[in-house]
Amino acid sequence: MGNANFVKKILRASGNKTARIFIVLALNYLLVASVCQAEKVKEPGVSGAFYPDNKQQLSQSIDGFLNDVNPLAMEGAIFALILPHAGYSFSGRTAAFGYKLIKGKPYKTVVVIGPSHYYAFNGASVY
């Protein structure tokens, strides 16, 4: 089945207009993302400043944060985490606390939302 037929089949299967718009945008994003990923991998911009630039030191640092925290078990499902993303020395333990709460949970989709540190603009940007 060609890509055009696949898209038409999905659009026919989706009942309402909002679902169709979302599907078209999602398919467009996946197409653009696959092309962008094929071109290059973004190099880290602050490696060595906010976290170790050595792979082994970075791994040990993250393992250390995760080993240092022992959150109490929570009842119910965790729908979202709001975690800091400052330098690891400032926020690593707090982030590890949140990540450890969801360790081993079966999530199918994870959405990461973060600020733009380099460009000011109105609205939202999706990469």
Residues 11-34 pLDDT 10s: 565 556 666 566 666 666 666 665
* For residue 108, pLDDT beyond 90: no
Assess contact for 98 and 74: CB atoms under 8 A.
Answer: no
Query: Higher model confidence: residue 68 or residue 29?
Result: 68
Q: Residue 51 pairs with which residues in a beta bridge?
A: 47
Which of 57, 70, 60 is closest to 96 using CA atoms?
70
Compute the average pLDDT of residues 85-114.
88
* Burial label, 119 (beta-carbon count in 10 A; 0-12, 13-18, 19+): exposed
Helices (H) then strands (E): counts for the chain: 4, 0
